[in-house]
């Protein structure tokens, strides 16, 4: 009998914060600029469609998980597609989605750090630092990660609140016109497509047992999505209110630009360096969670009793993959073109496919009996 992987346990509040913080990590990167590029002055509306789809994704995932309450998405995939195809799908999800996404995030965060503060440091050093944090977090497990998220989220949200309130003097509501920006199609359709692809839905499916099981999965997922998309909404609104959209399109790291704009008298100005603390911690949580989810998924797929031996090889793979793109524009392109689209498959298509297969199987079984 295969020994069950010990994942630890944490409460719903911690799970919400962990997934919420993980999903908000993208606001610190170039991602808001891409959205401004797509939606123009109506960029703040773009996450609304994505939120609706993400909530639906959580609902479908919860339906899948309820089919086998003691299992995770990994085991249910195997139950639905059989041991061989199921394992292949799981390994594909692990490598294509979690490892590649982790690699892209490592590189993007490292590039952001280089741009912001450590201009003369080699990229491999910053990459290695992020990897080290990811390895430590993944090694200590999701319970420790959830507690870390719970301990730091007040500082993170407090920092964001300070940022938003400090920028109020710079707000100009005319920046939000025209109301539908570059057009409803761009804002709602492309906005939904661009914002719905997040790793947290599939990650939640992998760590469901540590979160307390399928029964409370939907509640946790909904709240986490509201938190993540709510922060994205607030950030985009602040961005477009502070700078007009043509100007916002020019920023490589819009969040950094917003922080740099703060001027509350001669003594309190240019506090963007303080936000690096938040930035680094959120990035570390995100990368550690991705690495953990990848290792646990692979261990469950291969029926291994322990996930920890896989952390180092997977981390090394992430590190190597993260160094493959030539420069920052290349990695942003990989993120925008590949990751955002690829993430839709395990988030939405996989649960729907599993539901369909299980339904057909159930129907067949009922017909047989």
Partner 1 sequence: MTENGWCGMSILANLLKLITYEENPDREGFVLKETSADQKATGKNEAPSIGKNSPDEQKKAQAGRGSFKKPVRPAGKVTEKPRKIKDSGEAGAVQTGQTAGRVNEKPVVDKLSVSASLAENRDTVGILYGLPENKDIIMRDIVIGTEPVINGFVIFIDGLVDKSVQDLLFQALMLFAARTAPPEKGKLALFVKERLLPGNQITLQSRFRDILDAVNYGDTALFLEGCADALLVETKGWEHRGIDRPTIEQVVRGPQEAFGETLRTNTALIRKLIKNENLTTEFIKVGTRNQVNVAVMYLRDLANPALVAEVKRRIDSVKTDLIIDSGTLEELIEDNPYNLNPTVMATERPDRVAASIIEGRVGIIVDGSPFALIVPTTMYEMLHTGEELYTRWQFGTFIRYLRALAFYLSFLLPGLYLSVVLFHQEMIPTELLLAIAGNRERVPFPSLVEVLLMEISFELIREAGLRIPGVMGTTIGIVGALILGQAAVQANIVSPILVILVAVTGLSSFAIPYYSLAFSLRIYRFFYIAVGAMLGFFGISIGLFAQIILTANLKSFGVPYLAPIGPRTVTGADVVTRLPVFFHEKRPDYLNPLEIARQPDVSRGWLEQKDGGKDN
The site for partner 1 (CB under 8 A) is made up of: 10-11, 13-14, 113, 117-118, 121, 126, 129, 132-133, 136-137, 140-141, 143-148, 150-152, 266-267, 269-274, 276-281, 284-285
**Minimum CB–partner distance for residue 153 and partner 1 (Å):** 10
> Could you tell me which residues come within 8 angstroms of residue 49 by beta carbon, excluding any fewer than 6 positions away?
188, 189, 191, 192, 195, 196
User: Nearer to partner 1 by C-beta: 187 or 287?
Assistant: 287
Whole-angstrom distance, CA of residue 293 vs CA of residue 9: 15
User: Nearer to partner 1 by C-beta: 138 or 296?
Assistant: 138
**Minimum CB–partner distance for residue 359 and partner 1 (Å):** 38
Q: Which of 49, 10, 21 is nearest to 223 (CA)?
A: 21
**Minimum CB–partner distance for residue 254 and partner 1 (Å):** 19
**Minimum CB–partner distance for residue 142 and partner 1 (Å):** 11
User: Nearer to partner 1 by C-beta: 89 or 149?
Assistant: 149
User: Nearer to partner 1 by C-beta: 233 or 292?
Assistant: 292
**Minimum CB–partner distance for residue 144 and partner 1 (Å):** 4
- Other beta carbons less than 10 A from residue 353's beta carbon: 16
User: Nearer to partner 1 by C-beta: 20 or 181?
Assistant: 20
User: Nearer to partner 1 by C-beta: 35 or 285?
Assistant: 285
**Minimum CB–partner distance for residue 94 and partner 1 (Å):** 23
Q: How many residues in the chain?
A: 369
User: Nearer to partner 1 by C-beta: 115 or 175?
Assistant: 115
**Minimum CB–partner distance for residue 117 and partner 1 (Å):** 6
**Minimum CB–partner distance for residue 108 and partner 1 (Å):** 14
Cα distances from 335 to residues 68, 218, 222, 227, 289, in angstroms, run: 33, 28, 25, 22, 18
Find out whether 287 and 133 touch, Cβ atoms under 8 Å.
yes
User: Nearer to partner 1 by C-beta: 78 or 111?
Assistant: 111
User: Nearer to partner 1 by C-beta: 166 or 175?
Assistant: 166
Whole-angstrom distance, CA of residue 345 vs CA of residue 70: 24
Q: Which of 287, 253, 289, 297 is nearest to 272 (CA)?
A: 253
**Minimum CB–partner distance for residue 288 and partner 1 (Å):** 8
Find out whether 107 and 127 touch, Cβ atoms under 8 Å.
yes
User: Nearer to partner 1 by C-beta: 97 or 262?
Assistant: 262
Find out whether 351 and 64 touch, Cβ atoms under 8 Å.
yes
**Minimum CB–partner distance for residue 271 and partner 1 (Å):** 6
């Amino acid at each position: 009998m295969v020994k069950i992987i010990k994942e630890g346990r944490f409460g719903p509040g911690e799970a919400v914060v962990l997934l919420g913080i993980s999903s908000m990590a993208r606001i610190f990167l170039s991602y808001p600029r891409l959205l401004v590029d797509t939606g123009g002055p109506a960029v703040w509306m773009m996450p609304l469609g994505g939120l609706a789809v993400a909530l639906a994704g959580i609902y479908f995932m919860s339906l899948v998980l309820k089919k086998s309450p003691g299992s995770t998405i990994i085991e249910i995939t195997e139950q639905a597609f059989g041991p061989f195809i199921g394992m292949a799908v799981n390994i594909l999800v692990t490598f294509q989605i979690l490892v590649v996404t982790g690699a892209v995030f490592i590189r993007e965060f490292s590039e952001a750090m280089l741009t912001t503060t450590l201009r003369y440091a080699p990229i491999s050093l910053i990459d290695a630092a992020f990897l080290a944090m990811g390895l430590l977090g993944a090694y200590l497990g999701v319970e420790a990660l959830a507690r870390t998220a719970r301990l730091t989220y007040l500082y993170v949200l407090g920092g964001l609140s300070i940022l938003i309130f400090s920028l109020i003097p710079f707000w100009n509501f005319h920046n939000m016109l025209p109301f539908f920006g570059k057009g409803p199609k761009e804002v709602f359709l492309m906005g939904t497509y661009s914002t719905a692809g997040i790793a947290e839905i599939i990650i939640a499916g992998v760590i469901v047992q540590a979160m307390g099981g399928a029964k409370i999965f939907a509640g946790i997922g909904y709240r986490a999505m509201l938190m993540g998309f709510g922060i994205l909404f607030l950030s985009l609104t602040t961005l477009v209110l502070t700078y007009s959209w043509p100007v916002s399109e020019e920023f490589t790291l819009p969040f950094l630009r917003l922080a740099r704009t703060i001027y509350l008298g001669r003594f309190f100005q240019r506090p963007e360096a303080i936000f690096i603390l938040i930035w680094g911690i959120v990035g570390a949580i995100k990368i550690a969670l991705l690495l953990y989810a990848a290792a646990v998924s692979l261990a469950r797929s291969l029926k291994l009793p322990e996930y920890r031996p896989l952390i180092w090889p997977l981390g090394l793979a992430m590190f190597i993959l993260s160094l493959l793109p030539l420069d920052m524009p290349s990695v942003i392109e990989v993120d925008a073109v590949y990751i955002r689209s690829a993430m839709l498959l395990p988030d939405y298509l996989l649960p729907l496919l599993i539901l369909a297969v299980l339904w057909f199987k159930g129907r067949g079984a009922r017909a047989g009996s």
